[in-house]
Structure 1
Amino acid sequence: MPGTPVTGTMACVGTVEGGAADWVGRWWRDGAAARHAPALAGALLGVAALAELIVRQAGTAALGPYVLLLCLLGLAATAPLALADPVAAAATVSAANLLGLAALHAPTVAGAAAQVLVAYRLGRRGWPPGAVALGVPYLAVALTDPAGAYVRAAAVALASLVPVAAGAGIAVRIQREDAEHRAARHAIAGTLLEHTARGERARIARELHDVVAHHVSMIAVQAETARLTTPGLPTEGARRLSAIGDTARAALTEMRRLLGVLREDSREGADPGPQRHPQPGLRQLTDLIDEARDATGAGTRLILRGSPTSLDPGVELAAYRIVQEALTNSRRHAPGAAVDVELHYADDELRLLVRDNGAGPAAQARTTGHGLLGMRERATAVGGRLYTGRSGTGGFLVEAVLPTGASDLR
């Protein structure tokens, strides 16, 4: 049919145009336009300078070597714009333009455009003071009252436009650096916020495990102890005490699940953060041990060695929490076992030992868990260290060495 070839041709043309447009769009988006812009500008301005000089000298008789010299100078005043180094490009273009303007009195519009562009580029990427100074030689040429109105006008124009272009480049550079600094500040602020939140979650997890879990464990132990040791307890009372113990153990299970979620996001550890006052210390250890003894009915002793000294509140809190968790650990895994809590005061350290006489196999099963991790974190946070494992008597041992360095209480 007559219309078929036309339709096919139009479709082919549309496909070619669409492909070219897509290629140009990808080239622009990939940043190739910005990378190749100086080279492209240098080539175009070089061609424009040659055309301008040839047209200008075409009607004169002074052709030959002089025109060749002008063409080379025109290329030197424009083509170096393609150089990667903005300082070298600015120096070459400026020298060629000044020579063409002051000595040969043959400035070109393309050379003036290249001079403005290298001043902008030098202010944006290279040496801002030097970019502003590029206009000074043209001001000197304008003040010497050069022959020819065209030369004088070109000198005045370049003396005015070059500093303006340099200032525009400097403004763009300052704006870019300010944006980079703002982005860096925002990134740092976000990192600090995330670190603070992670540290707070770790602190909450430790307090939940060391304080709330301790008291819930005490409820379970006391309910079971009361059910087994109260003579003449009615059946309904025994059932209710058993239900209390079961509820407390279920609460501990749910709390351990919650602690696992909290610790998952704070695996690397964090600063304990600000502490709430008042906080327990070593003076409250006797109450803690009496509470453990009353709850289990087993022997629990506090042994002091050396001269007690006043410690940093953070160190005392860490020692208290380590003892608290170690006692809870003993009640959970070695019920009825006797426990010794020993404090060894030395000149520069406090050695803390919590030892029970529970069964050996049970001691081996107690070497993992959030409780031991929390104790180790507390010891490390105050500059100490912690050891957990079998004791020499076959039970379980928690040993912490914490720094001292405070006034004597004797």
Structure 2
Amino acid sequence: MDGVFPTRDAIGAIRRVAAAPWLPAVGAALLATAGLAQVLVHPGRPATDLIAGLVLALCTTAPVAFVRSHPLPAAAAGTVAVLLTLGLGHPPTLGGLVAQAIVLYFVGAHHAYTAVLFAVPYVAYAVGPAESRAGGKVLGVALLVVAGGALAVGGVRRARAEAVDHTTADSARADLGHAYAAREERARIARELHDIVAHHISSVSVQAETVRLTTPGLSADAAARVLAIGETARLALTEMRRLLGVLRDDAGPDEADLPQPGLQDLVTLVDEARDRLGTRVRLIVSGPVRRLEPGLELTAYRVAQEALTNSRRHAPGAAVDIELRYREHSLLVSVWDAGGAAGPPSEGGHGLLGMWERVAMAGGTLHTGRGPVGGFVVQAVLPVPGGAR
């Protein structure tokens, strides 16, 4: 079998030679030499006819040297030279026919509609009067077969290349669609896990804190164990969020992936409340202002945001004050409104429960109720780890 079919190394060598940049020039030189030799050995030609034959033989073969870089001009030059040779009453040389087949092949391989134009002269020559043609009917048909066959083979190669490109593009689009679908599915799983598991873990932490604070007669050892349960739940929630980030880090940007707000964003929150709803809102800051942990700042921001939302909902039009008081070991967030007949938020709402859970997760305390001069007050005390920085 190895002696009949070329080996893989032989096929690779053939492809390298076919792709070599010097091959068109060498091919043109060999074909020109063969064509010139054929003209010279043809007997009975006058001197002027011999010179014209040599020039046309060179013109029909030289375009092969430029077939890769300029296929259309090379094919046009070669076709004109062949037609002029036929017009002088002589058939083209064998080298000229091979050269014409090569240039027409490249035209068919790179140009779909222009290739048809190069077949027209050969069709006209093949169907024209046989008496006025060199070589008669046989030569006309032979030229048409050579030209048409070269154009057809080039067209087949071009069609196959386009089909491969289309298949590759379709496969790439399908792979991209599958990748996006997988990322979306991972993001969906991450969101569902977070919504379900985080709720239960936070409930464990809140219930542990509630037991520690509300159970009378709780021994010191039991209180320490309950406190450890709450700390473990908070640590588990932090680790779970970190692990779920691995699932959703490549799912594309969504609202959860955007930078989380901090205390510096309270100014924007207050301005939006003033501009959009016309609410009279003041932001009061006291104490040594400093950067806190992002999670702590997020909790304080959400408390202020939810309290402001409740005030707009249950006491529309009432003035609202938001105070941030920086202490050495804690941050006090207070939101109170002037209030009115609407009274405090109903006990069935989820806003106060959400604030309570957030504050408990941060290890702080939350107080809500009527203000000393009316209205409703939300006050959260959040511990600052490490104190002042």
Q: TM-score scaled to structure 2, two decimals?
A: 0.61
Are 1:132 and 1:162, in contact at CA under 8 Å, matched by a contact in 2?
no
Task: Name the CA distance, whole Å, in 1 between partners of 2:255 and 2:150.
Answer: 52
Aligned to 1:170: 155
Are 1:202 and 1:263, in contact at CA under 8 Å, matched by a contact in 2?
yes
Q: For 1:367-386, what aligned pairs fall within 5 Å after superposition?
A: none
> 2:358 corresponds to which letter in structure 1?
N
Identity, % of aligned positions: 39
Helix, strand or coil: the match of 1:303? helix
1:184 correspondence with 2:169: yes
Aligned to 2:292: none
Task: Name the CA distance, whole Å, in 1 between partners of 2:76 and 2:177.
Answer: 46
1:89 correspondence with 2:74: yes
Task: Name the CA distance, whole Å, in 1 between partners of 2:232 and 2:382.
Answer: 27
Aligned to 2:24: 38
1:218 correspondence with 2:203: yes
Aligned to 1:357: 380
Q: For 1:208-287, what aligned pairs fall within 5 Å after superposition?
A: 208-233=193-218, 241=226, 244-245=229-230, 247-266=232-251, 268-270=252-254
The correspondence for 1:138, drawn from 97, 122, 129, is 122
Aligned length: 286
Task: Name the CA distance, whole Å, in 2 between partners of 1:106 and 1:178.
Answer: 39
Task: Name the CA distance, whole Å, in 1 between partners of 2:248 and 2:140.
Answer: 72
> 1:79 corresponds to which letter in structure 2?
A
For the aligned residues, what is the CA RMSD? 4.1
Are 1:116 and 1:158, in contact at CA under 8 Å, matched by a contact in 2?
no
Task: Name the CA distance, whole Å, in 2 between partners of 1:334 and 1:249.
Answer: 9
1:120 correspondence with 2:102: no
What displacement does 1:166 show? 1.0
What displacement does 1:95 show? 0.9
Are 1:135 and 1:160, in contact at CA under 8 Å, matched by a contact in 2?
no
Task: Name the CA distance, whole Å, in 2 between partners of 1:326 and 1:69.
Answer: 100
Aligned to 2:143: 158
Which range moved further: 186-195 or 79-88?
A: 186-195
Aligned to 1:305: 312
Task: Name the CA distance, whole Å, in 2 between partners of 1:253 and 1:199.
Answer: 23
What displacement does 1:322 show? 10
Are 2:71 and 2:107, in contact at CA under 8 Å, matched by a contact in 1?
yes
1:337 correspondence with 2:366: yes
> 1:357 corresponds to which letter in structure 2?
A
Helix, strand or coil: the match of 1:106? coil
**Pair 37,155 (structure 1): closer, same or farther in 2 beyond 3 Å:** farther
What displacement does 1:63 show? 4.5
**Pair 244,171 (structure 1): closer, same or farther in 2 beyond 3 Å:** same
Are 1:210 and 1:324, in contact at CA under 8 Å, matched by a contact in 2?
no
Are 1:216 and 1:248, in contact at CA under 8 Å, matched by a contact in 2?
yes
What displacement does 1:26 show? 7.9
Helix, strand or coil: the match of 2:310? strand
What displacement does 1:119 show? 1.8
**Pair 230,359 (structure 1): closer, same or farther in 2 beyond 3 Å:** closer
Aligned to 2:5: none
**Pair 74,302 (structure 1): closer, same or farther in 2 beyond 3 Å:** closer
**Pair 29,332 (structure 1): closer, same or farther in 2 beyond 3 Å:** farther
For structure 1, the residue ranges without an aligned partner over 5 or more in a row are: 1-21, 273-299, 308-319, 341-354, 366-410
Task: Name the CA distance, whole Å, in 2 between partners of 1:133 and 1:90.
Answer: 11
> 1:38 corresponds to which letter in structure 2?
P
Aligned to 2:41: 55
The correspondence for 1:65, drawn from 26, 38, 48, is 48
Helix, strand or coil: the match of 1:46? helix
What displacement does 1:93 show? 0.7
**Pair 271,157 (structure 1): closer, same or farther in 2 beyond 3 Å:** farther
What displacement does 1:229 show? 2.1
For structure 2, the residue ranges without an aligned partner over 5 or more in a row are: 1-8, 257-306, 315-348, 370-377
